[in-house]
Amino acid sequence: MAAPVLAIVIPCYNDSEALPISVARLTAILDRLIVADRVAEESYLLCVDDGSTDDTWAVISDLHERDTRIKGVALAHNRGQQYALIAGLTAVNGKCDAAVTIDADLQDDPEAIVAMTDLFLAGKEIVYGVRASRASDSWFKRTTARAFYRLQQRLGVDTIYDHADYRLMSSRAIEMLADYGESNLFLRGIIPQLGLDTGVVRYNRQERVAGRSKYSFTRMVSFSIDGITSFSAKPIRMIFLLGLALLCVDIVVAIYVFTSYFADKVIIGWTSLMLSIWFLGSVILMGIGIVGEYVGKIFNEVKHRPRYAIKTTLWD
Ligand code: UDP
Ligand code: MG
């Protein structure tokens, strides 16, 4: 059997500092795999510029000029990492036997690609890169990430613990992924749903090679909300259950109110009234917020808009 064509897809947003370093390391790994006859000579890298505002695209063009194995796709707007990834995977669909997606900052050890390729050659369709340690992440990022994975599992979202978007997918997996036309993308939730044979490679998460993280706290929160509301309707049920529980409390309150009334007690009642108004008000608002989250999703899905617009492509 001929060696498979491997594509390495790299989402890039304002990562012009990190790119030359990471592309050099990734091409070196690719060369090693080619020499060892593990992957085909036509294997390549694809940098997806996610609407960067710095000179990321100039850097990609420059790299492409020097080595045409480094290809590029530029999105017209900044759509976020998930969309840059799906744009890249769509671009390589049918043009490779397997694709690895990896961040431009090389926080995810690129050496794991070798082990991923080995598992692919052994027949695995999807290989997850899983963080063996998060020592280089801040305490805050580590704790919030852990809490997020746990919450997702509680809510019945099928994800892999401590796996982000560093993974290998076979051409078959990429083709199947193309059938998921949803606008609210959370790849980590979709990939396990493909139901293909999977493997795991462990690695240590490192510091960025250059530049700064593009995920602010608010972006992390909105990503987490997306990850849950795109896959689970449990939050709506929880609101309903909360309402039910409050109804039970209400019965007790009603009994208390009536006994006080018939006992002819003078009830000032201001405190309890204020407490109830505020408490119920917040519960109602929470409910509206959660329902609104889903309505927003329905709104996005029914529009069936393209998920991104490609501005330029560098290929041959
Ligand atoms: N990224 C992207 N679009 C964005 C934000 C980030 O394509 O809107 C890319 C970024 O260039 C990097 C990867 O996604 O390759 C992960 O981003 P980052 O390292 O900032 O996230 P962190 O590792 O801090 O979670
Ligand atoms: Mg990073």
pLDDT tens-digit readout, 57-86: 999 999 999 999 999 999 999 999 999 999
State which of 105, 108, 207 you would mutate to test the pocket of ligand 1, scoring each by most atoms of that ligand within 8 A of its C-beta.
105
| Mean pLDDT, residues 246-253 | 80
Walk across the sheet containing 198-204 and list its strands.
198-204, 126-133, 163-170, 98-101, 6-12, 44-49, 70-75, 310-314
The pLDDT assigned to 267 comes to: 63
How many whole angstroms separate alpha carbon 288 and alpha carbon 44?
48
The pLDDT assigned to 271 comes to: 64
Nearest to 9 by CA among 167, 127, 179, 223: 167
Residues present in the chain in total: 316
How many whole angstroms separate alpha carbon 119 and alpha carbon 196?
13
Matching residue, tokens 């060369």? 31
Measured CA angle at 110 (ends 105, 114), to 5 deg:
165
The pLDDT assigned to 236 comes to: 78
Nearest atom, ligand 1, residue 107 CA = 23
Nearest to 283 by CA among 231, 223, 241: 241
Backbone angles phi, psi at 104, to 5 degrees: -70, -15
Report the separation in Å between the CA atom of 104 and the middle of ligand 2, taken as the mean of its atom positions.
7
Matching residue, tokens 């979202």? 157
Weakest mean pLDDT among 111-120, 210-219, 270-279: 270-279
Q: What percent of the chain has pLDDT over 70?
A: 97
Q: What are 48's strand-pairing partners?
A: 11, 73
How many whole angstroms separate alpha carbon 201 and alpha carbon 192?
16
Do residues 46 and 91 make contact, with C-beta atoms less than 8 angstroms apart?
Answer: yes
Q: Is the pLDDT of residue 112 over 90?
A: yes
Start-to-end CA distance of the chain, whole Å, equals 26
Q: Is 92 exposed, middle or buried (0-12, 13-18, 19+ CB in 10 A)?
A: buried
Q: What distance lies between CA 277 and its chain's CA centroid?
A: 39
Nearest atom, ligand 1, residue 80 CA = 8
Flag whether the pTM goes above 0.85: yes
How many whole angstroms separate alpha carbon 49 and alpha carbon 77?
9
State which of 81, 144, 166, 188 you would mutate to test the pocket of ligand 1, scoring each by most atoms of that ligand within 8 A of its C-beta.
81
Report the separation in Å between the CA atom of 240 and the middle of ligand 1, taken as the mean of its atom positions.
37
| Beta pairing, strands 126-133 & 163-170 | antiparallel
| H helix runs in the chain, sequence order | 19-35, 56-66, 81-92, 112-121, 139-154, 171-177, 187-190, 217-229, 234-262, 270-303
| Mean pLDDT, residues 96-114 | 97
Q: Is the pLDDT of residue 224 over 80?
A: yes
Q: How many CB atoms lie within 10 A of CB 38?
A: 17
Matching residue, tokens 């078959």? 172
Nearest atom, ligand 1, residue 208 CA = 19
Q: What are 9's strand-pairing partners?
A: 46, 101
Please, what is the average pLDDT of the chain?
89
Nearest ligand, measured from the Cα of 13: 1
How many whole angstroms separate alpha carbon 129 and alpha carbon 102?
10
Q: Is the pLDDT of residue 265 over 70?
A: no
The pLDDT assigned to 240 comes to: 78
Q: Which of residues 90 and 316 earns the better pLDDT score?
A: 90
How many whole angstroms separate alpha carbon 213 and alpha carbon 211?
7
Nearest ligand, measured from the Cα of 164: 1
125: helix, coil or strand?
A: coil
Backbone angles phi, psi at 225, to 5 degrees: -60, -45
| Beta pairing, strands 98-101 & 163-170 | antiparallel
Query: In the structure, which protein residues have their CB atom closer than 6 angstroms to any atom of ligand 1?
Result: 11-13, 15, 50, 78, 80-81, 84, 103-105, 107, 213-215
Matching residue, tokens 């990022």? 141
